[in-house]
A and B are shown apart, each in its own frame.
Chain A
Amino acid sequence: MRQAGAYSGLLCGGVSGRTGPHSLPLARIKKIMKNSGEDVKMISGEAPIIFSKACELFIEELTRRSWIMAIQGKRRTLHKEDLASAVIATDIFDFLITLVSSSESHAVGGATNVMEVETIDCS
């Protein structure tokens, strides 16, 4: 009878059959890594695995901060404007400002060019 290792949860079972123990598909993460630049030659097997965890943390943090924006707007639905506000308010998300801004410009009916955002302390 094979004995399960102390961290066997990392290696078998998990969230769903297709992604194993990880909540995000590793093959897709690897593909995105490859597409990030021509100088990305080889990727070790462990890199997409720990990236899946890092992405979870990222999604959780940005979602949490976005939700604070929605609540301040007295809403119960998270909108893209809330994500944009959270990105603008958080230093480590600066690399996303262009992305969320261009998303804004695609909105139907146009978007306000000037966005007023209160800086909030989420520490």
Chain B
Amino acid sequence: MDQDEQDRALPIANVSRIMKQILPPSAKISKEGKQVMQECVTEFISFVTGEASDKCHKENRKTVNGDDICWALSSLGFDNYAEAIGRYLHKYRQAEREKINHDKKYENPHINRAPPPPLLLSRVTRDKVENPPPSPPNQSG
């Protein structure tokens, strides 16, 4: 696989790591084994994308979205994947909504802030009388 082909495949290091995680610790993977898996998973993406894209085309839509991928997986016999991916997609969308709400809340610090109390202006009486009577001024007159 030349460099140009390498750029059109998933990185072999990432693919190898996932393979190792599923195998017992004593297992080894030949270099050719890793390369074949790399090619297989790249083909898997193209295969499923083609199916999803066909569906979009028939429905006169231009954007391939997550639901189309789930549908294509199920259509091609990967029912277990479609179920798992459906749950994953649901969680992702939930997380996105929470993120948006969270950002909105902190971008508007004035939301829910109580209005400042009105300034209390003390009255100044025009009558300056020494030792004013304790009764309120309304009662006078």
Interface of A toward B, CB cutoff 8 Å: 2-3, 5-8, 10-11, 19, 23-25, 28-29, 31-33, 35-37, 39-44, 46-47, 49-51, 53-60, 62-64, 66-67, 70, 76-80, 82-84, 87, 91-93, 95-96, 99-100, 103, 107
Contacts and interface: CB of A to CB of B under 8 A. Distances in A.
Interface in B32-66: 32-33, 35-37, 39-50, 53-54, 57, 62-66
B10 A55 contact: yes
Q: Chain B contact residues: over half helix, strand or loop, or mixed? A: helix
A25 B38 CA distance: 13
B29 A103 contact: no
Given A47-B69, A80-B32, A39 B57 contact: yes
A77 to B, nearest CB: 4
Interface in B61-83: 62-66, 68-70, 73, 76-78, 80-81
Contacts of B93: 46
B52 to A, nearest CB: 8
Interface residues of B, number: 65
Contacts of B77: 91-92
Given A36-B50, A96-B43, 10 more contacts: A7-B94, A23-B14, A23-B17, A33-B45, A41-B63, A64-B22, A67-B22, A67-B27, A77-B29, A99-B43
Contacts of B54: 39
A78 B37 CA distance: 11
Contact of B28 (A53, A77, A96): A77
Nearest to A77: B28
